[in-house]
Amino acid sequence: MKIALFSYKSYDKEWFDSHLAGTGFEINYFRVELDESTAAYAQGNEVVCAFVNDDLSRPVIARLSELGVKMIALRCAGFNNVDLEAAGEYGLPVFRVPEYSPHAVAEHAVALILGLNRKTHKAYNRVRDGNFSLSRLIGFNLHGKTVGVLGTGKIGKVFADLMHGFGCNILLYDKFPDTSLAKKGYQYVDLGTLLKQSDILSLHIPLMAETAHIINRATLSMMKDNAMLINTSRGGLINTEHAIDALRKKKLGYLGIDVYEQEEGVFFHNLQEQIVDDETLAILMSFPNVLITAHQAFLTREALDEITRITLKNISDFQNGLTNENQVGAPK
Ligand code: NAI
């Protein structure tokens, strides 16, 4: 079975090549992101393996189907970039990797919190430059603070446990609460209470029509003054312009993001020698209380092992005419 793997980075090739033995699969690696203009690379491959910023909208799916592609294997959990209805209509099953390491993402959310709070990235640069001054490096104790977890699925749960370990009070909100979490001393509240009472709010819900811009002018105004907002989920959960406004007004105290609304074409690329033509991102980068990483929360060795193993198993199941719980789009 031939697989066209889009948006590949050196670590993708390293991991997939090391897991290929005995599968009978052949992988053709393409650096380009998948979109209408690059879909033609998939010709001759039965499977397209795609990542978070590959475009799997209706016209791309139609083109892939025309080229003979039979299956879409996402090597990520989120599938907001896939038009599932179109995939169903064109008979292309879509598989994903729903859980590869909730710990990887939850731990990165904690890294953003610690970085923003204790300013280790700034201290590192100062010390390297011979500046041993401590001015403007004051942080706060996490112990005793209230942490709001928006979305208590696989990642949100691990994140809640980690923050509980720091001695934080944990408030939760989810459309489908998990009652077992109450036994740990965590409390489910309504969204309004979560926003009003959290010193730190971390987003762990998927991006869908109903969650798009869930953080906007209205919800930001309900947050505590000087609160910290963390997003390791999907950029579209936050209305970035509204967040910038809240930062300007000193309503929002800190913003830590691993994902950004307009990250396609920017995140995952080395643009060091280029002018990044994104004024919103430039404004965000100019704030001293904003910490941005480029969608790296998943990037641990353990997570890469799981992503590779499960993606290849999904393809193998498809080849053998099987389905499994990782399928998100059922052909019509
Ligand atoms: P999950 O499916 O286990 O949990 C999501 C939770 O959100 C569920 O409990 C669900 O009930 C809740 N939810 C859904 N809609 C809601 C709404 N409207 N209001 C309140 N709660 C709602 O997902 P998991 O594995 O915890 O991942 C969460 C997100 O993290 C993914 O959707 C993905 O976008 C993101 N992610 C980011 C990564 C990164 O590298 N930055 C890597 C992996 C995932």
Angstrom distance (rounded) from CA 86 to CA 63: 11
Catalytic (active-site) positions: 234, 263, 295
Least confident of 15-19, 41-45, 187-191, 269-273: 269-273
Span 55-63, average pLDDT: 98
Query: Mutation test of ligand 1: which of 108, 175, 326 has the most ligand atoms closer than 8 Å to its C-beta?
Result: 175
Residue pointed to by tokens 């001759």: 44
Quick check: CB of 232 below 6 Å from ligand 1? yes
Mean pLDDT of the chain: 96
Cα 72–74–80 angle (5° rounding)?
100
The Cα 240–Cα 280 span in angstroms is 8
Taking 80 as the threshold, does the pLDDT of residue 330 lie above it? Answer: no
Residue of the CA atom closest to atom 2 of ligand 1: 153
Q: Give one word for 329, left, alpha or beta, with left for phi > 0 and alpha for psi -120 to 50.
A: beta
Residue 72's pLDDT is what?
A: 98
For 187, phi then psi, to 5°, come to -125, 125
Please write down the HEC assignment for all residues of 86-140.
Answer: HHHHCCCCEECCCCCCHHHHHHHHHHHHHHHHHCHHHHHHHHHCCCCCCCCCCCC
Q: Is the sign of the CA dihedral 59, 64, 70, 75 positive or negative?
A: negative
pLDDT at 133 over 90: yes
Query: Structural domains in the chain?
Result: 2-100+300-319 (3.40.50.720), 102-292 (3.40.50.720)
Tell me whether residue 62 is exposed, middle or buried, using C-beta atoms within 10 angstroms of its C-beta: 0 to 12, 13 to 18, 19 or more: middle
> What is this structure's pTM?
0.92
CA angle 218/221/225 to nearest 5° reads 165
pLDDT band at 208, cuts 50/70/90? very high
pLDDT tens profile 213-258: 999 999 999 999 999 999 999 999 999 999 999 999 999 999 999 9
